[in-house]
Amino acid sequence: MNKLKLRSQLESFFIEDIGEQDITTDLIFAENTNGEIVFLAKDEGIFCGEEIIKTGFKLLNDEMTTQVLVKDGEPIQYGQQLAIVSGKIADLLKGERVVLNLVQRMSGIATLTHKAVHTLNSEFTRICDTRKTTPGLRMFEKYAVRCGGGFNHRFGLYDGVMIKDNHISFAGSIWGAVEAVRKKAGHMVKIEVEVETEEQVIEAVNAGADVIMFDNRTPDEIKELIQLVPKGIITEASGGIQITKLEDYRDTGVHYISLGFLTHSYKALDISVKVNWNKGEA
């Protein structure tokens, strides 16, 4: 993750949550009172959020001490200690919810991605994400996909050309859309085209598409359509593919399967933050 952007977004999240003050904490605890908290796994899965813990608490108080006991992408077990943070009690309490929210969500995405990769069980086809992310959390969610063993599709509208059905409808044809991009884009920009029919595949190939995405096609349909694609063109399957059906796509021959559910239908991993009473043993 981009550390400058990480700090900026965390600052924004803290401002949203704390506002002018944490009225509860500030009324109970003196400013110079120290304490320690521990992050505990309440479920099995894949951990993600190392930098969130390290950077988040340091933003609130540079004197905070953080010790993350697992690495991003590592499996975790129920009851396992994940991180220990010590410092001013007021700062610990002000930061725990924002940090925990992100770590739970990112670990949930990493866990789901890991499951998808192992369900597909392919040495050729890669699992990747989509732009179906939570507004404001795309950097975090896409990083979590990588920690789970997946790959990233484009990050936004700015870093990759993807000609979809509505672009084609407005442009009048796949050829017209691709030609318009070729005239204006630099040589470093790849062009992906979404297709559904045999005619569209042929048109995309002849237009010079770099990537062809089979949209909402069954595994059998993809096996037929992919025969029309030269080896030099990258292929992708997307649209309505559920984790229970992933194995059906294993032998389709596509290079990538993009899954929107990785970042829009995940379950946050159950992680809690508790006061660490066993400081000497932790």
User: What is the CB neighbour count within 10 angstroms for residue 212?
Assistant: 26
Helix (H, G, I), strand (E, B) or coil at 196: coil
Q: What single letter denotes the amino acid at residue 38?
A: V
Helices 138-147, 89-120: crossing angle, 10 deg rounding: 50
List, by residue number, the catalytic residues. Answer: 97, 132, 164, 194, 215
Residue 96 Rama label (left phi>0; alpha psi -120 to 50; beta):
alpha
Helix (H, G, I), strand (E, B) or coil at 159: coil
Helices 198-207, 174-184: crossing angle, 10 deg rounding: 20
Q: What are the tokens at 171?
A: 């442009």
